[in-house]
Amino acid sequence: MKWDITEHALHSEFRAEVEKLSGQNLGDCYQCGKCSGGCPVLPELDLSPNRLLRMVQLGLEDEALRNETVWCCAACGTCDSRCPMGVEILRIIDVLREMAKNRNVTPPATAGRVLTFYRSFLDCVQEFGRLSEVALMGSYNMNSGRLWTNMVKAPWFFLKGKVSLSPHKIRQIDRLQRAFKRVEEIESQ
Amino acid sequence: MKYGYYPGCSLLGSAVEYDRSGRALLEALGVELEEIDDWVCCGATAAHATSHLLSLALPAISCAAAEKQGLDVLACCSACYSRLKQTNHDLRKDPALLAQINEIIEEDYKVKPRVLHVSEVLANEIGADAIREKVTKPLDGLKVACYYGCLLARLPKALRIDNIEYPTMLDDLMAAVGAEPVDWPCKTECCGAALTLARQDMVIRLSGELVQMAKECGADVIAVACPLCQANLDMYQSDAEGQLGEQLGVPVLYFTQVMGLALGLTAEQLALDKVIVDPTPLLVERGLVEAGVYL
Domain CATH for A94: 1.10.1060.10
Average pLDDT over residues A4-31: 88
Residue A84 pLDDT: 96
| Same domain, residue pair A21 and A82 | yes
The CA distance from B111 to the nearest CA of chain A, in Å, is 18
Residue A93 has pLDDT above 80, yes or no: yes
Rounded Cα–Cα distance for residues A4 and A53 (Å): 17
Q: CB-CB: which of B12, B54, B164 is closest to A164?
A: B12
Chain A residues whose CB is inside 8 A of the B295 CB are none
Residue B183 has pLDDT above 70, yes or no: yes
Residue A167 pLDDT: 67
| Same domain, residue pair A127 and A58 | no
Give the helix, strand, coil percentages of chain A, each rounded to 5. Answer: 60, 0, 40
| Same domain, residue pair A21 and A63 | yes
Query: Where does the pLDDT of residue B11 fall: very low under 50, low under 70, confident under 90, or very high at 90 and above?
Result: very high
Residue A168 pLDDT: 81
Contact B229, B148 (CB under 8 A): no
Is A44 within 8 Å of B164 when comparing Cβ atoms?
no
Is A98 within 8 Å of B192 when comparing Cβ atoms?
no
Rounded Cα–Cα distance for residues B240 and B244 (Å): 6
Average pLDDT over residues A83-95: 96
Query: Where does the pLDDT of residue B263 fall: very low under 50, low under 70, confident under 90, or very high at 90 and above?
Result: very high
Architecture of domain B136-285: 3-Layer(aba) Sandwich (3.40)
Residue A40 lies in a domain: yes
| Same domain, residue pair A121 and A76 | no
Q: How many domains does chain A divide into?
A: 2
pLDDT for B94-108, tens place per residue? 999 999 999 999 999
Query: Where does the pLDDT of residue A10 fall: very low under 50, low under 70, confident under 90, or very high at 90 and above?
Result: low
Average pLDDT, chain A: 89
Is A170 within 8 Å of B38 when comparing Cβ atoms?
yes
| Same domain, residue pair A98 and A130 | no
Q: Do domains B2-118 and B136-285 have the same CATH topology?
A: no
Residue B151 has pLDDT above 70, yes or no: yes
Fold of B2-118: Glutathione S-transferase Yfyf (Class Pi); Chain A, domain 2 (1.20.1050)
Residue B294 has pLDDT above 60, yes or no: no
Residue A1 lies in a domain: no
| Same domain, residue pair A49 and A66 | yes
| Same domain, residue pair A12 and A92 | yes
Residue A77 lies in a domain: yes
Residue B197 pLDDT: 75
Is B194 within 8 Å of A75 when comparing Cβ atoms?
yes
Please report, for chain B, the start and end positions of each structural domain, with discontinuous segments joined by +. Answer: 2-118, 136-285
- Parent domain of A27: 7-102
* CA count, 13 A, side-chain hemisphere, A47: 21
pLDDT for A38-71, tens place per residue? 999 998 899 999 999 999 999 999 999 999 999 9
* Percentage of residues in chain B having pLDDT higher than 90: 91
Residue by residue, what is the 3-state secondary structure of A116-146? HHHHHHHHHHHHHCCCCHHHHHHHHHHHHCC
Residue B274 in contact with partner chain A when CB distance is under 8 A:
yes
Q: Does residue A16 or residue B293 have the better pLDDT? A: A16
Query: Where does the pLDDT of residue B5 fall: very low under 50, low under 70, confident under 90, or very high at 90 and above?
Result: very high
Q: CB-CB: which of A40, A114, A163 is closest to B13?
A: A163
Residue B261 has pLDDT above 80, yes or no: yes
Residue B53 pLDDT: 98
Average pLDDT over residues A4-25: 86
pLDDT for B111-134, tens place per residue? 999 999 999 999 999 999 999 999
Q: Does residue B239 or residue A110 have the better pLDDT? A: B239
Residue B164 in contact with partner chain A when CB distance is under 8 A:
yes
| Same domain, residue pair A86 and A31 | yes
Residue A156 has pLDDT above 90, yes or no: no
Residue B221 identity (one-letter amino acid): V
Residue A133 pLDDT: 82
Q: Output B173-176 pairs: Cβ under 8 A, ≥24 positions apart.
A: B173/B119, B173/B122, B173/B123, B173/B128, B173/B131, B173/B255, B173/B259, B174/B139, B174/B144, B174/B146, B174/B223, B174/B255, B174/B258, B174/B259, B175/B128, B176/B128, B176/B131, B176/B132, B176/B135
Identify the domain boundary among A102, A128, A151.
A102
pLDDT for B37-56, tens place per residue? 999 999 999 999 999 999 99
Residue A166 pLDDT: 65
